[in-house]
Amino acid sequence: MGKSMKFTDLDQYLFGQGTNYEIYKKMGAHPTTYRRKKGVYFAVWAPNAQSVSVIGEFNGWDEEANPMKKVGPIGVYEVFVPGAKIGQLYKFFILGAHGEKLYKADPYANEAELRPGTASRITDITDYKWKDATWIKNREKFDEKVEPMAIYEVHPGSWMRHPGRDDDGFYSYRDLAKSLISYVKEMGYTHIELMGISEYPFDGSWGYQVTGYYAPTSRYGTPEDFAYLVNECHKNKIGVILDWVPAHFPKDAHGLVEFDGTATYEYADARKGEHPDWGTKIFDYSKNEVKNFLIGSALMWVENYHVDG
């Protein structure tokens, strides 16, 4: 593995070019074995941090227990934590450029704690057993200019509710696989367009102010439950399209805003970096690492969750 455990010189080079298209397999939290020990590999980009450590249920949220090592000049930090397990919550503790103490959710997390909690959750999204091979094969022949398309746009949190429940009565991804698919088929739609699936803190934003670009929102279940929904859609010959929001992000303290004590993901110039109507931050697309973060997210939904568009 060379000097670095996992984030290699080539990874750094491609990330710096904005073309590390499998970035989601390296950044974030990945259960693995290292030197014959089972645990979790963590990686995060914090170019102007003074130091970074990972804190979580595996170390009692101790800021000094698992310091991360900077691998090269681009500002990626990594660490392997033996004994950390799937299901445990974690955050990155960042000593910012000006000495700020920052407690950040993982930008590349594949699962998040249910709001109002703001931590990330260790998970493994690589082992889902897909059963949609026929759909995937037929998809290559699909010509949207010729073949009929009727898209049903749906916000999962308000389409239907279980009445009288304390938890907002949201339909889970698995509930939707039952009721939504049969409804859509009966009505003659070919595709479902899901609004607001990437993780977000505020219900009222309907998912248009995203903090977790690599995580299906935990409001409706686990990443595996979301994969199950897509799989069931495909088995029923229904395509799945996601609303994806690479324009701006909210200022929640655990999110991307001033991630390492400086404008990391957003424009430093407030005239470019603030969205006056929404009170949000705007991504700095001039940074290759930011472009890579967004492109990597889009590709992750397509490759890992078999999303159709």
Cα separation, 185 vs 106, in Å, equals 37
C-alpha radius of gyration, the chain, whole number? 20
Beta bridge partners of 154: 194
pLDDT per residue as tens digits for the range 209-266: 788 999 999 999 999 999 999 999 999 999 999 999 888 888 899 999 999 999 999 9
User: Between 207 and 108, where is the model more confident?
Assistant: 108
Q: How confident is the model at residue 167 (pLDDT cuts 50, 70, 90)?
A: low
| Predicted pLDDT at 1 | 37
Question: In this structure, are strands 51-56 and 89-95 parallel, antiparallel, or unpaired?
Answer: antiparallel
Closest by Cα among 37, 121, 127 to 81: 37
pTM of the predicted protein model: 0.93
Residue 221, C-beta contacts closer than 8 angstroms, at least 6 positions apart: 172, 173, 174
pLDDT per residue as tens digits for the range 80-106: 999 999 999 999 999 999 999 999 999
Residue 203 has pLDDT above 80, yes or no: no
Q: How confident is the model at residue 3 (pLDDT cuts 50, 70, 90)?
A: low
